[in-house]
Amino acid sequence: RRLERSRYRLFTVVVVLCLVCVLIYQIQERRRLQKINEKQNLLEEKERQLVLLGQRIEEKDVALETLEQIRKERDGVLSDLVVLRNDKLQTSALVKKLRKQSQRVDTAGKNVLKVTEERNLILLIQSIYPSIAVFMDKNPFGLTEAEKQICYLSFLQLSLNEEAVLLDINPDSV
């Protein structure tokens, strides 16, 4: 009987040791699975963030394409505006008259730019190009009245000789 008790005790100790080993294994396995679960949750969170960032990138790309399209449209409108302003200036009766007047040299001074014509030309240019009026009023380069005249005449796209005829000065001075 003693032998049986010893076997029973030994068996009980072995069973307890096995249960302890199983319990330790279960605890380690649980920790391992918990870490895997945490990593899986983190991975899923990162995937959600990646999807959201992808959506934001697509939205930004659409916005960027829209911005580029708006810029192209703006540049086109600005180009059209420049052409229209130039056409308006070049087709005005005053500019046509001054172009014709600048074609002939007259020793009597009949083709010289008159004060009223100059004033009307300045008003016409300033109405077509408002920023020129601001620039000329500020006069950052300290232009003289003669230099201002030449600046305004340059809008007519005349040659130096034609400007000289209107101003009644030497073409080298222009």
Taking alpha carbons only, the member of 167, 83, 79, 172 closest to residue 121 is: 167
Interaxial angle between packed helices 93-102 and 160-167, expressed in degrees from 0 to 180 and rounded to the nearest 10: 100
- Residue that the structure tokens 């399209």 belong to: 69
CA 101, distance to chain mean position in Å, is 45
Residues 6+ apart with CB under 8 A from 80: none
| 174 residues of the chain, pLDDT tens digit each | 778 888 888 999 999 999 999 999 999 999 999 999 999 999 999 999 999 999 999 999 988 899 899 999 999 999 999 999 999 999 999 998 998 888 877 666 677 888 899 999 999 999 999 899 889 889 899 999 888 888 998 999 888 888 888 888 877 776
φ and ψ of 158, to 5 deg: -90, 160
What is the rounded distance in angstroms from the CA atom of residue 146 to the CA atom of residue 135? Answer: 16
